[in-house]
Amino acid sequence: MIPAAQVARFQNAAPFWLSLLMVPLAVLSATQGGVWVVSLPIFSWGMFSLLDTLTGLYEENADLTTSDDQLFWYRLITMIWLPIQVCVLFGLIAYVPTAEHLGWLEKICIFFGMGVVSGTTGIVYSHELMHQSNKLERWLGDLLMASVLYSHFRSEHLLVHHRYVATPRDAVTARYNEGFHRFLPRVLLESLTSAFAAERGMLARKGLPWFHRSNPFWRYWLLEAGFLTLAFLIGGWVGLMLFLFQAATAIWQLELVNYVEHYGLTRRHLGEGKYEHVLPRHSWNASHRATNWLLINLQRHSDHHYKPARRFPLLQTYGTDEAPQLPYGYPVMTFLAMIPPLWRRRMNPRVRAWRKQFYPDIEDWAPYKLGTNPMPR
């Protein structure tokens, strides 16, 4: 007989397992073709946006005294996702290139959908895992990032983004009035170079050169090479190209979300390159219930930056008096980000209102424009 407490914990965690529905959709898209090839984007973006409308906001907060043992069912979905994603990805690479019932456009659409899976679920779960102290969880996170050829994200995220968010040294913080199509090439280059510089700096402080074996970039490169080799061995050149396409799609999704999470927000400059401590006000918050199920509470981003080690079921949400609020969940907001005029029309007034609310004493925001006031290294 299963204890009632365990049943209750599983029932509470069950909505966060909805990502598993992507697996049969991926199989159907490959085996059936036709309209099924767009089922994964429709499921991830369309269905959850509709569910947000139907289910509304979820603004209750979990008990922070909850132990890790009580979070078993929440943690389990993030820990089993790597083998699931790898099986789906390489199963598609083995099947799709030679599937005679699929045209080239259908094949491309299938791997766009696979990239949506890798980006919407794989990278989000990796993000949760890399923040944990458990070595197994961090390795699972590394492998998920390697499967989309973006392993350096861990170094950039933990060593640079969390430390310098909403300051000029954080490439990932989108500048006010910066459109996504300008943001993307900038962040792709700067996040890589800043991640490498952060690891090199840590080694230098230990008196070690950048090429020392303890530099995690060696691990990143080896894991990525392993995934590329496996894709080629299973699917040949076509399989390799499709693997690269799903990786590019996942990275695009990741950076779309990064763009949304901190757009236009800055921390108060205290002088001499110092900034105030990170507060909930420095990230956009969203309490939309359904997309927080899909993204394991990633939209409670204000609390994530305030308390980075907090596991996703315990992330708190904030009201408008403590954190700026997004008008919609991430699927809708990332769609708006792809159309800069619509994005600016919706978000720029919110940034200006945020400035008046939290920093009414600052009249001239020009010195706070990210990219114009670099911090000393």
pLDDT, tens digit, for every residue of 203-251? 999 999 999 999 999 999 999 999 999 999 999 999 999 999 999 999 9
Confidence of residue 264 (pLDDT cuts 50, 70, 90): very high
Residue 375 confidence (pLDDT): 41
pLDDT tens sequence across 25-83: 999 999 999 999 999 999 999 999 999 999 999 999 999 999 888 999 999 999 999 99
Question: Average pLDDT in the 342-369 region?
Answer: 90
| pLDDT for the residue 6 | 76
The answer to whether 161 touches 187, Cβ cutoff 8 Å, is: no
271's enclosing H/E stretch is strand 269-271
**Which tokens go with 231?**
């894709």
Instruction: Tell me if 57 sits within 8 A of 152, measured CB to CB.
Output: no
pLDDT of res. 370 = 65
3-state helix, strand, coil in the chain (%, to 5): 65, 0, 30
* Long-range contacts of residues 270-277, Cβ cutoff 8 Å, at least 24 apart: 272/376, 273/375, 273/376, 275/166, 275/167, 275/375
Q: What is the average per-residue pLDDT within 291-306?
A: 96
